[in-house]
Chain A
Amino acid sequence: MPDLIVRAEGVRKRYGDFWAVDGVDLEIARGECLAMLGPNGAGKTTFTEILEGFRTRDGGMIDVLGVDPAEATGAWKARIGIVLQQDRDLGDLTVAEAVHHFSHYYPHPSNPDEVIAAVGLQESAGVRIDRLSGGQRRRLDVALGIVGQPEMLFLDEPTTGFDPEARRDFWQLIEQLKYDGTTILLTTHYLEEAEALADRVAVIARGRLLACAPPELLDGRDNGTTEVHWMENGVARMEKTQEPTALIHNLSQRIGGEIPGLMVRRASLEDVYLNLIAGDALESS
């Protein structure tokens, strides 16, 4: 039995007649990074905010670090870290002022200067927050989320609007947090981000959990149809197969030795994801 940080069973939330979250079961083990994917309005943020203690629920059971978030106490909040979507606050303070100030809220904070360095803002420590770039601003949000040394970190779309380089740097930061043992729930729209960071991926649509598995196994991705590409007599060839190993074996014998331009392509996470969402949309219509 793994050490479970998050345990949610049959969680439901209603706005009027609309069930934004409609019976979600989810478990996250200590040290795990779980990525939550889903279209806009799928209920990701609502579900996350219920786990964070910001919203009430209309049904189901939740246990985060041994506490029901609906009865969140200061001691519990000291053990979690929250990075919300798109904050615009604190503009008049400098990076260092904000991180130092927030560190006092927590019983066992990290050294604020080390946190600033860890998120790569040491050069901007004296800069006013309203003068940071979008990527720097998100790094500051993460710094404020981790300065209390949380056991559980919630990241809601942390890299929206990043350029590719900034995103890579950000991923390194998250890898480091994972390495340090932080449990992470990451909400994102970027499939390559989920693939790079997550131990497991949960796909949510219309308030329901469609699938939850390691990214390389999601929805039978490991044993579905595979595309094999190669070159033969100067022509690009492709064949879809359930048995790529046998096909390559045959090819190798036919061509004799190395197969030019050989490429074996499993369904990408994006293929699997879009397939899941499309299937769900079909079911609803």
Chain B
Amino acid sequence: MSLGHTADLGFRRARIELKQFFRDKESAVFNFMLPMILLVIFGFVFGGQELGPTGITFSQYFVAGMIASGIVYTSFQNLAISIPLEREDGTLKRLQGTPMPKASYFIGKVGMVFVAYLAQVTILIAVGMIFFGIELPKSGLQWFTFVWASVLGLIAWTLLGIAYSAVPRTGRGAAALVTPVVLVLQFISGVFFVFSELPTWMQNVASVFPLKWLAQAMRSVFLPESAAALESSGSWQLGMAAAVLFAWIIVGALLATWSFRWTPRGR
């Protein structure tokens, strides 16, 4: 099978995966809409609270964190829950019995995640602009950061989602094993709370994982330069953020290759 054929089937799979993603009400609400719902609720509850002398409000800080979280929802949570279901309901076995190249399956997953994120982040930014006074990135550098942070973050979290999909034994139990991971990471990575106000040990733990760096990079894109003073180091540390995300892409690729299973355990 040629490379072109593999890519063509990958795009076709992305299309069909997107249809399934948005038609499945549970996944559409849980992976796609939840960040928007959380943004509106928390944004209004903590609304006008100003963060120190920076002039920015917590809700603006929160918008950037929710955009970073959106990446985790559409890629990691989505895949780590849906792949065990596919393993159980016969999707993967059916595909295995066809000549479709396995690479096309993964291209399809990545394509679905990218398109779902693009739609989601557009809505999140719009909500942030309308209700919480967020502004679109002004400088070319901010746009550049937005693009690389999104792309690196999506790739890393997609690979981690594929790797983590080997953990749940059943499709039904998957959400219970995936969502707590996402929630805890959000709490310790500066999404629901201002990162620099967390206990130091918690900051250290969070710094190992990619969400903290993703949220920080998104703050550099959507908050004014003065807000960098709110960071623990007093700066955006973009080089470090890129390096950590890149490292997680390598770790995720290794884990995904090692752990991914087409059939349920014990077959």
Contacts and interface: CB of A to CB of B under 8 A. Distances in A.
Interface in B96-137: 96-101
Contact of A75 (B89, B99, B100): B99
B9 A102 contact: no
Dominant SS among interface residues on chain A: loop
B20 interface: yes
B5 to A, nearest CB: 9
B90 A89 contact: yes
B9 A77 contact: no
Contact of A77 (B86, B89, B99, B267): B99
Contacts of A93: 16, 19-20, 23
B184 interface: no
Kindly name the residue among B9, B24, B100 whose own CB sees the greatest number of chain A CB atoms within 10 A: B100
A102 B93 contact: no
Interface stretch (A33-41, A80-88, A218-226, A245-253): A80-88
Nearest to B97: A82
Contacts of B91: 89-90
Given A77-B99, A101-B12, A104-B12, A87 B20 contact: no
Contacts of B138: none
Contacts of A190: none
B98 A148 contact: yes
B97 A52 contact: yes
A87 B94 CA distance: 9
A101 B89 CA distance: 18
A77 B102 CA distance: 13
Nearest to A85: B90
A105 B100 contact: yes
Contacts of A105: 9, 98-100
Interface string B1-27: 100000011001000100110011000
Kindly name the residue among A78, A89, A97 whose own CB sees the greatest number of chain B CB atoms within 10 A: A89
Given A89-B86, A104-B12, A144 B94 contact: yes
Contacts of B263: 54
Interface string B64-94: 0000000000000000000000100111011
A171 interface: no
B266 to A, nearest CB: 10
Contact of A74 (B8, B23, B101): B101
Kindly name the residue among B16, B96, B97 whose own CB sees the greatest number of chain A CB atoms within 10 A: B97
Contacts of B16: 93, 97, 101
Nearest to A53: B97
Contacts of A144: 94
B99 A92 contact: no
Contacts of B96: 54
A230 interface: no
A87 B9 CA distance: 22
Contacts of A106: 98-99
A120 B86 CA distance: 27
Given A74-B101, A92-B19, A97-B19, 14 more contacts: A53-B97, A54-B263, A74-B1, A75-B99, A77-B97, A88-B89, A89-B94, A90-B91, A92-B23, A93-B16, A93-B20, A101-B12, A105-B100, A106-B98
15 contacts: A55-B267, A74-B1, A74-B101, A75-B99, A77-B99, A87-B90, A89-B89, A89-B91, A92-B23, A92-B24, A93-B19, A93-B20, A104-B9, A106-B98, A106-B99
Interface of B: 1, 8-9, 12, 16, 19-20, 23-24, 86, 89-91, 93-94, 96-101, 263, 267
